[in-house]
Amino acid sequence: MLGYSTREVAKLLDLPVERVRSFVRSGFLAPERGPRGEMRFTFQDLVLLRTARELIGARIAPRRVRRTLDQLRREITGGRPLSGLSIVADGQSIVVRDGRMRWNPEDGQTLFDFQVADLHRKVAPFTERLALKGRRRSDLDAEGWYELGCDLESVSPDGAVEAYQRALELDPDHAEAHINLGRLLHESGDTTAALEHYRIAADAKPGDATAAFNLGVALEDLGRDEEALVAYERAIAADRSFRDAHYNIAGLYHRMGKPTAALRHLRIYRKL
């Protein structure tokens, strides 16, 4: 499988190899295993490990570190691009920003501030080598191509698109590949093509809140507000705490001249 080795992670984060292993033994993260049982880390693992290192360095209790990482892990999965995240100290809380919104993974005193984009830049040379290795392999299955696409997003969006397309050739119902490919197409301005991928993902995984939400965003961008409202409602049905969905529904109801409904969802958004 693809991914970063323990030694590569240690070099990227300026940690002793044994320290990386101790974080895993302590349960702060659970990397995948390669064919020989070796640990293979994703970029998401690097973000979590960097956060764990800073929290432990700030003398935060291990139980609170695990709770913070568990919440952060849930927040940064499901298609949210990681390269734009900033994890900072804000008063008494850890606050994660992605340019559009902010959230607290756990209340508590923190003493650090880092841009995930900086970690992306350090990872880029390793990712390029992974990409070259992946392209040379003929035995990758759909999940392998999907993982390669995730790795490539930080250094080669075009290469990521190609990898996701290869994944979908092997598994046309791979919902995560559809979501990520749709997002890249959406960001490039091809909303119509993105819409189709979001729709397939939402149909393949009816309980996936991210697929439904992204479908709603594309529909709203195309001026199809009634359909977007249905998609956002699907996202909330799958995840009642999906804050962005409540916010976007409030905006739609406001434009539709339904202030009471808009206010109800805006209150939920603010509460969340």
Pairing mode, strands 93-97 and 32-33: unpaired
Helix 17-25 with 43-57: angle, nearest 10 deg: 90
Which is higher by pLDDT, 110 or 225?
Answer: 225
Closest CA to 81 of 149, 16, 5, 172: 149
- Under the banding of pLDDT at 50, 70 and 90, the label for residue 3 is confident
pLDDT digits (tens, 9 = 90+) for 127-142: 656 655 555 556 678 8
For 214-239, b where at least 16 C-beta lie within 10 A, e where not — what string? bbbbbbbeeeebebbbebbebbbebb
DSSP summary character for residue 4:
B
Work out the end-to-end distance of the chain between its first and last CA atoms, rounded to an integer number of angstroms. 38
For residue 85, is pLDDT > 70?
A: no
pLDDT digits (tens, 9 = 90+) for 102-123: 444 444 334 344 555 555 566 6
| Residue 79: how many other CB atoms lie within 10 Å | 18
SS (H, E, C) 20-80: HHHHHHCCCCCCEECCCCCEEECHHHHHHHHHHHHHHHCCCCHHHHHHHHHHHHHHCCCCC
In which region does residue 11 sit, left (phi positive, over 0), alpha (psi from -120 to 50) or beta (all else)?
alpha
Instruction: Say what percent of the chain tops pLDDT 90.
Output: 35
C-alpha dist (Å) from residue 103 to 97, 118, 216: 7, 20, 22
DSSP summary character for residue 90:
E
How much is the pTM?
0.58
Closest CA to 71 of 95, 100, 53: 95
In which region does residue 37 sit, left (phi positive, over 0), alpha (psi from -120 to 50) or beta (all else)?
left
For residue 258, is pLDDT > 60?
A: yes
Residues 48-57 have a mean pLDDT of 75
C-alpha dist (Å) from residue 238 to 245, 250, 259: 11, 18, 25
| Residue 184: how many other CB atoms lie within 10 Å | 21
